[in-house]
Amino acid sequence: MILSLVILVPLAASILSLLVAKRAKNLYRIAAAASFIELAASSAVTYSIAVNNSPFSWTPYFSVDFLGAILLMLVAIVGLATSIYSIGYFKAEVDKKIIGFHRVREYFILLHLFLMAMFFAITTTSPVLMWIAIEATTLSTAFLISFYNKPSAMEAAWKYLIINSIGLLIGFLGTLLFLSIVSHPYPINLIDWSALAKNASNANPLIVKIAFVLVLIGYGTKVGLAPMHTWLPDAHSKAPVPLSSLLSGVLLNVAFLAIIRFKIVTDLSVGANFSQGLLIFFGILSIVIASLIILMQKNYKRLLAYSSIEHMGIIALGFGFGGIGIFAALLHMVYHSLAKSMLFLASGNIFLKYSTTRISSTKGAIFVLPVTGVLFLAGFLAITGIPPFGTFLTEIYIVSAGLKNHPVIVITAIIALTLAFVGFLRSVFSMAYGEPGEITKGEKSKWTTLPLIAIFIILLALSLYLPDFIKVFIQNASALISKTI
Amino acid sequence: MEILNMQTVFVFEAIIFVSAVLMHVVKRNSTIIIIYLCQSLALVGLLGIHAYQEQSTGSFLIALIVLVIKVLIAPRFFLRLINRSHQNLSASTYINVPMTLGVIIGLIFFAQSDIFSPFNKLLGEMPALRMMLISAIFISLFLTINRKGVLSQIIGVLSLENSIVAFGFFVGLRQPFNLELGILFDILILVIVSTVFVSMVYRQFDSYDVTRMKHLKEE
C-alpha cells in the first residue's frame, strides 16, 4: 500500500496542478507536499526492506529490492530538493518576466509526471512496464526541454525526442528478445525479472547476447553512454535548471537500472565476461570522449552535462570490472546523483544572477553568491573525486578492481579523469574568482539556497561516514548483480 | 486454412518490408504518410489474423486500437499538418537515391548474414521471412538517419516501431492484454507528442528541414 503512494502521489499532484487556475502559490504547495509524501513513502519502503531483509512488494506488478531501494531513495531525495528549488527558481523567473503562470503550471504538471514515470520504472517487476515507464520519461520531459521556446531549445528537444525514441525502440527489441527465453510463448501471466532469471540458463546464448547488445545500445542511449550520448549535452543544458538536475542526477541512473537488470539475466545465461566486456568498452569510450570535451568547454551547463557522461562511463567501468567494482559503482551512483544535482542547482543560482551560461562571462561567483559559490566549489571537488568526498574512494575502488585484468583501460581512464579534472579546475576557478563587475551581491532566496545546503550536508555526511544499513543495502545489491552461472 | 493463413501473413510482412523501402524513394511528405498508412494496415492485418486464429476478444481489441491509432489518427494528424503548412515536398536526403538504394541492398545482405542465424529457431526455417523482418527494422532506422525532414524522420521512427512489433508478432512474443494496452498507450502519446513537436518546429524554423536547425552549433 505504501508503495502505491510513491506512484500515485505524483500522478495526483500532476492532476491537481492541472486544476490550478490562477495562483502559482498553489502549484508550489502541491509540489512541496507531494515531494515530502514521496520521500516519506520511499523511506518507509526502504525501512521495511531493511527490517525484513527481503524485497517490498505490492501486487505482482510492483516490488522493490535492495537495488531498487537505493534508486528509489535517490529519486525521492533529489526530487524533493528539486521541487523546493523549483519554487524559488520559477518565482525569480516570473519576477523577471521570463515566463508567466501558464508556463509554471505546465512545468509542474510535467515534472510530477516525470517523477511518477521514474518511480514506476524503479518499482515495476516487468521489463515491458519498465520500458513503458522509461519511454514515458522521454515523452514527459521533451516539452520541458523546449520550455523556453527558443530555437536552440527546440533543436535540443527535437534531438532528444528522436534519438531517445530510436534508442528506446532498439531497447524494446532487445527486451522482446529477452522475453523469448521464457518457455511458454503466449503467457497469460506477466513475465517478470525473476521469470527471466529462472529461464536464463536454458536460453539460447546467442539470442541472449544479441538481446543484451540491443538493450545496452537502447538504454545506453538514455544513460548517455558514448557514442550514443550526442543528445545529452544539448538537452541537459537547454532544459530549465531544476529539470537538468533531475535529468543528470537521477534519470541516467534509472535508465542504468534497466541495463543492470538485463545484465543479471545475461550473466546467468552466458557468464559475466560478455556483458562486462561491453560495459568496459562503452565505459572507457564515454570517459575519454567526455574528458576531452570538458577540457575545451565554454558553457558551464554543458560542462556539467559532459561530466555526467564521464561519470556514467565510470559507473559502467565499475560494473564491467566486477568484484569490488560493482560495490563501488553503486556507491558512485549515490555520490554522483547528489553532487551533480547540487551542482546543477548551484548553476541555476549563478544563471539567475549573471543571466549567462558562458564560463568567460561569469566572474567572482564566490563573492557575488557566497553560499552558492562555496557549494559550487565543493561540488566541483566532489565530482572530480577529491577527498574528503566519497567519489575519491569509489574511483580508487573502481580503478583497483580493473588494475589486474585491464591495466591499459585503467591507465587510459586515469589519464582521462586527470584531463577532466584540469578542465573542470580551469572553468570553475575562472567562474569563482575574478572581478564580478556590476552584479548585485547576495543569494536570490532561501528556496534556491536551502535545497543545495541540504544536499551538500547529505553528500558530505555520506562521504565521511557511511552508515552500516546503507553498506548492507549496497552489499546486497552488489550480491544480486554478481550472481552468475 | 493454416497454409492460407501462413501465406497471408507472409504477404502482410512483405507489405511492411516493401513499405519501408518505398519510403526512401518517394519525395512527397503526403506519399510517405500514405505508405506508412499501408504499412500500419498490414500490421493490423497480422494482428487481426492472429486474433481470428485465437478467437480472442482481447487480441481483436488490440488490433482495433492499432487500427485507430496508426491507420486513422496518426496519418490524419500528419496530413493535416502538411495541408496547414503547404510543405508537401519532403526535404532532401543526406545521400542521393542511387546510394540510398545501395545502402538498402547492403542492409538486406546484412540481415541475411549468419549474425542473425540464432533467430532461425524463433522464426522457423523461412530465410525470406527472416530477411524481411530484420531488414525492415534496419531500413526504417536508416530512413530516420538519412532524411532531413522532421516529418520523414518521425515517420521513420514509427515505421521502425511497426517493424519491431511485426518482428515480435512472428517471434510469438505476445504480452498480457493490459501490457499491450500500455505499449499502445505509449505509442499514442508518442504520436501526439511528435505531431505537436513537428508543428512547433515548423513554427520556429518556418520549415520542416532539420538543416535549418543550426542554433546549437552557433552557440
Does A182 contact B at CB distance below 8 Å? Answer: no
Contact criterion met (CB < 8 Å) for B200 and A150: no
Hey, which residues 318-357 in chain A have their CB within 8 Å of chain B?
none
Arithmetic mean of pLDDT, A14-26 = 93
Question: Which cell is B67 given?
Answer: 487500427
CA B132 to chain centre: 13
pLDDT, tens digit, for every residue of A430-484?
A: 999 988 888 888 888 899 999 999 999 999 999 999 999 999 999 999 999 987 6
Length of chain A: 485
CB neighbour list of residue B97: distance below 8 Å, 6 or more residues apart: B24, B25
The mean pLDDT value for A64-69 works out to 96
DSSP state, A226?
T
What pLDDT is recorded for position B1? Answer: 44
Q: Which residues of B touch A206 (CB under 8 A)?
A: 117-118
Which positions in chain B touch A154 (Cβ < 8 Å)? Answer: 200-201, 204-205, 213
Q: Is residue B167 a contact partner of residue B133, using CB atoms and an 8 Å limit?
A: yes
d(C-alpha A187, C-alpha A305), whole Å:
42
| C-alpha dist (Å) from residue A46 to A43, A68, A74 | 5, 9, 11
Between A and B, how many residue pairs show a Cβ–Cβ distance under 8 A? Answer: 110
The set of cell numbers assigned to A397 is 575502488
Cβ separation B182–A210 shorter than 8 A: no
What pLDDT score was predicted for residue B115? 86
User: How many angstroms separate the CA of residue A169 from the nearest CA in chain B?
Assistant: 7
**Is A176 part of the contact surface with chain B (CB cutoff 8 Å)?**
yes
pLDDT at B207: 84
Query: Can you tell me the distance from the alpha carbon of A399 to that of A371, in angstroms, rounded to the nearest whole number?
Result: 33
pLDDT in tens, chain B (219 residues): 454 477 888 899 899 999 999 999 998 889 999 999 999 999 999 888 888 887 888 888 888 988 998 999 889 988 988 888 777 666 688 898 899 999 999 999 999 888 888 888 777 667 788 889 899 999 999 999 999 888 899 999 999 999 998 888 877 666 667 777 777 888 888 888 888 888 888 888 888 888 888 777 655
B154, B161, B171 member nearest A180 (Cβ): B171
At residue B214, the pLDDT reads 76
3-state helix, strand, coil in chain B (%, to 5): 85, 5, 15
Kindly state the average pLDDT of the residues A366-382. Answer: 95
In contact, A303 and A294? CB cutoff 8 Å: yes
Q: Give B92's contacts (C-beta < 8 A, 6+ positions apart).
A: B148
How far apart CA A317 and CA A273 sit, in angstroms, is 13
The verdict on a CB contact (< 8 Å) between B193 and A139 is yes
Smallest Cβ–Cβ distance between B215 and the set A126, A151, A179 belongs to A151
- A186 contact B CB<8A: yes
- The C-alpha cell 535545497 sits at A451
Given A128, A149, A234, which is nearest B179 (Cβ)? A128
Of A111 and B189, the one with more pLDDT:
A111
CA proximity to A303, closest of A395, A428, A142: A428
- Least CB-CB distance to A154: which of B117, B154, B200? B200
Q: Do B164 and A172 touch (CB under 8 A)?
A: yes
Residue closest to A140 by CA, chosen among B26, B187, B6, B190: B190
Q: Could you report the predicted ipTM of this complex, rounded to two decimals? A: 0.91
Q: What is the separation, in whole angstroms, between the first and last Cα of chain B?
A: 63
Rounded to an integer, what distance in angstroms lies between the CA atom of residue A292 and that of residue A192? 41
Find the closest chain B residue to A238 by CA distance. Answer: B216
pLDDT of res. B219: 58
> Contact A204/B216, CB-based, under 8 Å?
no
Q: Which three cell numbers stand for residue A76?
A: 525521492
Cα of B173 to nearest chain A Cα, Å = 6
Is A180 within 8 Å of B122 when comparing Cβ atoms?
yes
pLDDT bucket at A293, cuts 50 / 70 / 90: very high
Q: Is A462 exposed, middle or buried (0-12, 13-18, 19+ CB in 10 A)?
A: middle
Predicted confidence at residue A220, as pLDDT, reads: 97
- Distance between CA B190 and CA B74 in Å, rounded? 10
Across the interface, whether the CB atoms of A143 and B161 are under 8 A apart is answered: no
CB A104 within 8 A of CB A131: no
CA-CA-CA-CA torsion sign (A230, A233, A238, A243): positive
Q: Looking at residue A136, what is its pLDDT?
A: 93
Query: What is the nearest CA distance from A188 to chain B, expressed in angstroms?
Result: 6
